[in-house]
Structure 1
Amino acid sequence: MNSYLSLLKTRGVARLMGSQLVARFPGGMLSLAFLIHIEQIHHSYGAAGLVLAATSAGQAIAGPLTSRWMGTWGMRRVLVLTLIVCTTAVGTIALAPKLPVPLYMALGLIAGLSYPPIQPAVRTIYPKLVNSGQLTPLYSLDASAQELIWILGPVIATLLATQVSPVIAIMVAVLFMVVGGIWFISSPEVGRVRIPRSRRKLGAVLTRPPVLLATVAGFLMIGACAAVEAGVVATFGEGRPESGVVLAIFAFGSLVGGLAFGHRPIGPWALAVRMFGVFVGLALAAAFLDFWWLSATLALAGLGIAPALAVMFTIVSASVKFSETAEAYGWVGTGQLIGAALGSAAAGFMIDAFDAHGAFWIAALLAFLGFLVPTIFRRAHPDLRGLDSSPIPDTEPIQTVRP
């Protein structure tokens, strides 16, 4: 714990971590707020699902693109532009009079395409704030802290949307995005760090085995988490508090795991070991759909999630040039978004066929594949024990601090 306190005392770390968490907080709110808002307008969960699918598709497409643009036009320019466009699109969904579903889908697509690339930006800046020995604990602390988004975000969104108004819920998410975005963009570190223009083609960074491994493993792990969410809701029902409590325990387990294990050295088996822990917890969860059993087993599974994410972020950082880091994290994020969408869809079909157990079977299967992939392709996993995990320097002088 002392290592994490030392990190937070490092100049700029607490400010960047706090601001990016506030700016990304809508990620835990907008899906539920959109779902309730569109369903109330069109009286159709199918219509709401189409809007959410369009939003997720936009985010998946934009991830590598907007991240790469930060190396071309600068972080602040890209972040300001995307923040303006995204908040306008989201605000229009909330405040516009009743619109046809295709127009809501178009607005959702625009919101997704313009979602500010704050996560790739902050993970690109981190290696410039701390020394290489502190980078793995910093990524772990970041992965643990982001669980607050998934613990508190859905609860706040549901309470506001059901007890006040879904419009208010969406606009509160917009407020978080604006306040957090301005706070993050105005941070001195965002102005000091310049990402060099990448000389390689878009997508070439995926030819680096650790980046591809992190993208595939993230796809499988987040797909498993999405299947768990669907399974928990199907088990307890949408209106019962048990669903929110169990999912909060799942996220809290991840937070604890990140703080407890995330600082450990990263060897070639690190990702496989952490994913095996996730698999064991989810496989046990599928046995009995009881509140206390699910709470205990999902807490166990959660212990491996943030540490696994920390490994993914670190092996990406250590394997790419600094000019490629933002795009690499953009691809990792896209993999996770696609995993979430496909995990939810597969879980839905299995719930229809086999009740809620089917969703947990899918979750356990995806987690097992998430363990199997880094096991089979362990040669793609760098051994970073005692090594520098900072990005590879580019082959030309890089100005990182402006006078």
Structure 2
Amino acid sequence: MLRIPHASRTFGAALLGRLSYGMVPLSLLLSVKDATGSYAAAGAAMACFGATSVTLSPVRAGFIDRHGPRRALPPMAAAYAVLLAALGLVTAGGGAGAAGLTALAAAAGASTPPLGPVMRVLWSDLVPPGLLPRAYSLDSVAEELLLVTGPLLVGAIVTVAPATVGLGVGAGLILGGTLALVTSPAAGAGKGSRATTGRAAGPTPGVLRGNRPMKQAVIGVAGVGVCLGALHLLVVAFADEHDAAGLVPWILAAMSAGSAVGGLAYGAVAWRAPGTRRLPVLAGALGLLLAATGLAPHPYVLLGCAALFGVFVAPGITTAYLIAEESAAPDSRTKAGAWVNTALNAGSSTATAATGLLIDNAPLPLCYALAALPAVLAAAALALAGPQPRLAPAKSRRLGRAAVEAGRRDEEEDAAQRRVAGEGGE
């Protein structure tokens, strides 16, 4: 993937900016808690930051689709960086009101630049259609590792400096990564780059309206998000029950390692079944594994289960993004990817809140089973619905090129026959 022209520069710039996403949440939480002395205020600020970031993601992506990354991304990144810097300055000063910090956090979340969806659109322009699953798998694995690396960097920062420094570093990363991304030659096509893919152009009334594959991607990835959000809290509860709190980071790291291995292996396979058939299998496997994990007799067994669980995480996310890319209209690719991202994060956040209530009121194995139920039900619904009959984009493009080539050959044959006929007449 990285040997493809402009790929390494573009992908590196996107990863630099996206590292901010791994650092900012923990930095914000710690900064607000230190400034107000209240976990409730910190939680409220985080909730508003996450809510505006997730719910407005398709809106921001729509601006990218309409105006192109070079015009739309820099203002978003500048606003996001300024608001993060303001949060850092206000919290560093101490004595800040919880309401004001929450409002600033909500504004920062609303302006988060959608670097992930933009990079996936650029991947589809950079690589041949047959390599797109491999590119998306690489992207999903890298994003997973960034989300692990970000909090570790914040942990290193707070050992030598205030947590507000993490907000400043996050602001610098997003600004530098975005500027590097939009100056890459791959982003030069901007608005209208879809023409290079051979798909018909033209506006559509909505990403989800009348688009069954896109709805299937959203439902399936929401089930993946539910499993992810629930597992993080369930692992903590399991470790507490077995007096093994020190194993929690290792268990979560095992899940991330499994996801990396699964994502890279998944991208290396040339799958024949369409994504709309693969996604329910992956979501269902995640749900069943989560339910089975609740029966683990020992934390070390749970560690192995988490690693196996992770093997299906990156493939599930990758498949949802591939379905979105294949089914999106020419002028809504970024928004389609943003909807997948929104569904994933919404499922994770909702599951985290619901799982907290379950743990307080039900036996732990039952909590695992109930948390797994939405993913299993989503997988069953998608499997019963079946894929919508349609040509995959790669196949459509192959057929389109074949038709053009056949027409050209026919014209050449007709011209040759006319020349022969003319020569015979003479």
Against the structure 1 CA distance between its residues 233 and 29, is the aligned structure 2 distance closer, same or farther, given a 3 Å change threshold?
A: farther
Against the structure 1 CA distance between its residues 385 and 75, is the aligned structure 2 distance closer, same or farther, given a 3 Å change threshold?
A: closer
Correspondences of 1:348-363 after superposition (within 5 Å):
348-354=356-362, 360-363=368-371
Correspondences of 1:2-17 after superposition (within 5 Å):
7-17=1-11
Q: CA deviation at 1:377?
A: 2.3
The match for 2:71 is: 77
Against the structure 1 CA distance between its residues 191 and 43, is the aligned structure 2 distance closer, same or farther, given a 3 Å change threshold?
A: same
Q: Tell me how large the CA RMSD over aligned residues is.
A: 2.7
Correspondences of 1:3-152 after superposition (within 5 Å):
7-96=1-90, 97=93, 98-152=95-149
For the residue of structure 2 that corresponds to 1:10, the secondary structure is coil
Q: Which amino acid aligns with 2:210?
A: T
Q: Contact conserved, 1:278 with 1:300, CA < 8 A, in 2?
A: no
Counterparts of 1:138 and 1:71 in 2: how far apart (Å)?
21
Instruction: Map Cα deviations across residues 181-229 of structure 1 (whole Å, 9 max, x no partner).
Output: 222122111122424796334x344431111111121122112201111
Percent same amino acid among aligned pairs?
Answer: 25
Q: CA deviation at 1:234?
A: 3.5
Q: CA deviation at 1:346?
A: 0.6
Q: Contact conserved, 1:93 with 1:104, CA < 8 A, in 2?
A: yes
> Greater CA radius of gyration, 1 or 2?
2
Moved more, 355-364 or 315-324: 355-364
Q: Which amino acid aligns with 2:67?
A: W
Indicate yes or no: 2:182 matched with 1:179. Answer: no
The match for 2:264 is: 259
The match for 1:313 is: 321
Counterparts of 2:96 and 2:307 in 1: how far apart (Å)?
41
Which of 228, 231, 236 is matched with 2:234 structurally?
A: 231
Moved more, 184-193 or 108-117: 184-193
Indicate yes or no: 2:284 matched with 1:276. Answer: yes
Counterparts of 1:373 and 1:12 in 2: how far apart (Å)?
40
Against the structure 1 CA distance between its residues 114 and 59, is the aligned structure 2 distance closer, same or farther, given a 3 Å change threshold?
A: same
Against the structure 1 CA distance between its residues 337 and 210, is the aligned structure 2 distance closer, same or farther, given a 3 Å change threshold?
A: same
Q: Which amino acid aligns with 2:211?
A: R
Correspondences of 1:361-380 after superposition (within 5 Å):
361-380=369-388
Instruction: Map Cα deviations across residues 150-183 of structure 1 (whole Å, 9 max, x no partner).
Output: 2212222234335632112222222322222222
Structure 1: segments with no counterpart, 5+ residues = 1-6, 393-403
The match for 2:248 is: 243
Q: CA deviation at 1:30?
A: 1.9
TM-score by length of 1: 0.87
Q: CA deviation at 1:304?
A: 0.8
Indicate yes or no: 2:332 matched with 1:332. Answer: no
Which of 201, 204, 212 is matched with 1:209 structurally?
A: 212
The match for 2:422 is: none
Q: CA deviation at 1:348?
A: 1.3
Structure 2: segments with no counterpart, 5+ residues = 194-200, 401-426
Against the structure 1 CA distance between its residues 383 and 340, is the aligned structure 2 distance closer, same or farther, given a 3 Å change threshold?
A: farther
Counterparts of 2:24 and 2:308 in 1: how far apart (Å)?
28
Counterparts of 2:252 and 2:378 in 1: how far apart (Å)?
21
Counterparts of 2:72 and 2:102 in 1: how far apart (Å)?
24
Q: CA deviation at 1:356?
A: 5.6
Q: CA deviation at 1:130?
A: 1.3
TM-score by length of 2: 0.82
Counterparts of 1:381 and 1:223 in 2: how far apart (Å)?
29
Q: CA deviation at 1:363?
A: 3.5
Q: CA deviation at 1:306?
A: 1.0
Counterparts of 2:160 and 2:248 in 1: how far apart (Å)?
18
Counterparts of 1:70 and 1:360 in 2: how far apart (Å)?
39
